[in-house]
Amino acid sequence: MPSTSLPDCAGAILQAFAARDTALTNIPVIQPAAPFLDMAGEALRRRIFMTESETGESLCLRPEFTIPVCRHHIENNAGTPKRYAYCGMVFRQARDDGASEFFQAGIEDLGSADFAKADARAIADAFGILRECLPESPLAVTLGDQNLFEAVVGALGLPGGWQKRLIHAFGNQKRLETLLDALARPQPVGGLDRRVAGFLADGDEAGLIAHIDETMQATGYSTNASRSPEEIARRLKEKLALSVTSLDAEALHALTTFLSLDIGLDQASAALTGFAEKFGLDIGSAIAAFENRIVAIAASGVAVSDITYRAAFGRPLDYYTGLVFEITEAGPRAALLAGGGRYDRLLTLLGASGHIPAVGFSLWLDRIERAGSQAEDIR
């Protein structure tokens, strides 16, 4: 069973947080489950430890800190910009190395209007703190950008439904490959009720809605507990439209070419500009924002040439909207030590009255501790 005592590296990390003008925040272990189930993503949802209150409210053990820190900010009507730090245990059903309780620490930077500077500061802080904790361990930084991927998908002119599918799959290589295969070789929808298929083929939306409503009434389905007939009809129409959508060879080549980019960040601007020109895609504003971030990263003191840009790289949380990054040990072990990104829509979804841009990162303390011990053993 994992120790409930903070790892030795926690002291140095907390000192680093204090030196970086952050407010250390205490987040309760028991949390309402709904925000995590709605916004965190499937990879985390299936690992949450669930429970219930006496009144039947769904609760969970704290699986991560970003969502509760944002809720804390909203509930306390805190002004922005504001930087929060946290340090504590999170609870997830067993991960790759077998632990279901482990310590995380991190910084959430809320409300900064200078996106490039805030992104660069998140990377620089995460890298700098790891460097202070692991002065002799080689580190590797990988960066992705969901905003760039969305710009490419949008420029290809795909239907909105397909754009949503691809964007939702960003960072999940297996899922993306499945979707690209479906775009290359569309398959008709099968298994539809004969009458439903007939209404869809005739474009008779009113008839389809009436048929669905009649079926729901006959089978005892309550529209209070499930989707309405109108919503079911809309989804069936969308599914049918998506099933017959194909991407021409040139557009498919453009998308796969983009996703194959895996280069040093110092070469990324030129590569992206060349890619856009080759395929005639209007993604100049997304590239400009990407370049502004590179300039800010260089100004923060992190060597841009030491960062890898991977166009297909994402992180398994649904709330990310732009920058995503991870820092690992370099070499064959490649243990994940830090990860983060930008999540500009999250606070609005959680109930904030106005738009609050946000970026942050988490550190895995047990892995940092283990990496330090291994470095000591090597010496």
- Is 345 in contact with 354 (CB distance < 8 Å)? no
- Is 313 in contact with 143 (CB distance < 8 Å)? yes
Binding site as annotated, residues: 64-66, 92, 104, 108, 315, 319-320
Residue of 175, 174, 105 lying closest to 365 (CA atoms): 105
Question: Residue 178 is encoded by which pair of tokens?
Answer: 């499945």
Binding site as annotated, residues for L-histidine: 64-66, 92, 104, 108, 315, 319-320
Question: Residue 108 is encoded by which pair of tokens?
Answer: 């959430």
Identity at 165, one-letter amino acid code: R
Q: Give the distance, in angstroms, between the CA of residue 43 and the centroid of all CA atoms in the same chain.
A: 10
With b for 16 or more beta-carbon neighbours within 10 A and e for fewer, the 141-170 pattern comes to bbbbbbbbbbbbbbbbebeeebeebbeebb
Phi/psi of residue 8, nearest 5 degrees: -60, -30
- Residue 107's SS3 state is strand
Helices (H), the chain: 9-19, 34-39, 42-45, 66-75, 115-133, 146-155, 160-168, 173-184, 194-202, 205-219, 229-243, 249-259, 265-279, 284-299, 346-349, 365-378
Angle at 102 between CA 333 and CA 46, to 5 degrees: 90
Could you give the strand order of the β-sheet that contains 58-61, starting from the edge strand earlier in sequence?
A: 30-32, 58-61, 50-52
Phi/psi of residue 62, nearest 5 degrees: -50, 110
User: How far is it, in rounded angstroms, from Cα 312 to Cα 306?
Assistant: 18
| Residue 85 exposed, middle or buried by CB count within 10 Å (0-12, 13-18, 19+) | buried
- Is 166 in contact with 179 (CB distance < 8 Å)? yes
